[in-house]
Amino acid sequence: GGVRAPGGGVRAPGGGVRAPGAPTYLIPPPTNHQTPPDHGGGGDDTWNPGDGFGGGHDGHDHDDHGHCRIVYTYPWSWWGWGWGSYGGWGWWIIPDAYTGTVNGPAGVEMTDGREAEPVEPPSPIEAARAWMAHGGSEEAVEWYRIHLNEHSADTRAMREYAAALLESGRPVDAVAMMGYAYSIEPGLANEAMSEALWGDSPLRLRKSVVDAVNFGHRAPSGNAWLLVAVLMQAEGRDLVALKMVERAVGQGLSSEIADRMRLRLSQR
């Protein structure tokens, strides 16, 4: 699911572009025997933290000064395109909900109706990397295209774009893009791609390596085996990557790229 921003924007997960690690709690989840926020009363205030994900927290002040409930959704924030009653159309950060009473008679509930405040939207490269890290290679491809339309010389983004293309099932385009990036900047060999691009699971990167190797056997070329070497370098398998460079040379990889890759991969 998701939405499309006006003007042909790309869809965003669950109505927004995920911002990994961003805070979402309007009020931090309390723990047992923690005083409720903004509550000045005395007494032993106890809390039930709930299940810790997608639920809520109940709190009760034992001197009957108030009762509070914090309702929350997920431990991350979202940027979403939509309508805000005081800001019109725009990007908004979608927070958790909060309801409760503070310093009031027990059983009387008040609702905090604060609306999400507008925030700066993620840049296309930030959106691309967030999508890629969370397994959305198709969406990442679209955001990388937008970024590269504006920053056509960003060779590091080109490498990442190639990885997204490969994972989304477009090995021909992935090979072409990786070769193009290194033809512009052979010095990319000095810096391995970050494993973080593929998120928390090393299995995604491993699968990409296997897919690249299989494609290299089906359609051998210098750039096809360069793609394999670059992905193996990202895994930290430099000696095996070095062998892939030699295989790429045999298929026509330029000596300039090959020499830079050899120099870097033989340093460990």
Three-state SS annotation for 207-249: HHHHHHHHHHHHCCCHHHHHHHHHHHHHHCCHHHHHHHHHHHH
Lowest mean pLDDT among 32-36, 110-114, 208-212: 32-36
Residue 257: pLDDT over 90? yes
Residue 53: pLDDT over 60? no
Residue 225: pLDDT over 60? yes
Mean pLDDT of 61-82: 39
Mean pLDDT of 200-210: 95
User: What are the residue boundaries of the structural domains of the chain, listed by start?
Assistant: 2-111, 124-265
Write down the pTM of the prediction. Answer: 0.61
Q: CB burial class (10 A; 0-12, 13-18, 19+) of residue 265?
A: buried
Do the beta carbons of residue 193 and residue 258 sit within 8 Å? no
Mean pLDDT of 141-152: 98
**What's the pLDDT score for residue 115?**
54
Q: CB burial class (10 A; 0-12, 13-18, 19+) of residue 2?
A: middle
Residue 193: pLDDT over 60? yes
Three-state DSSP class for 182? helix
As a CATH number, domain 124-265 is: 1.25.40.10
| Percent of the chain that is helix, strand, coil (3-state, to 5) | 45, 15, 40
Order of strands across the sheet with 110-111? 45-48, 56-61, 67-71, 98-100, 110-111
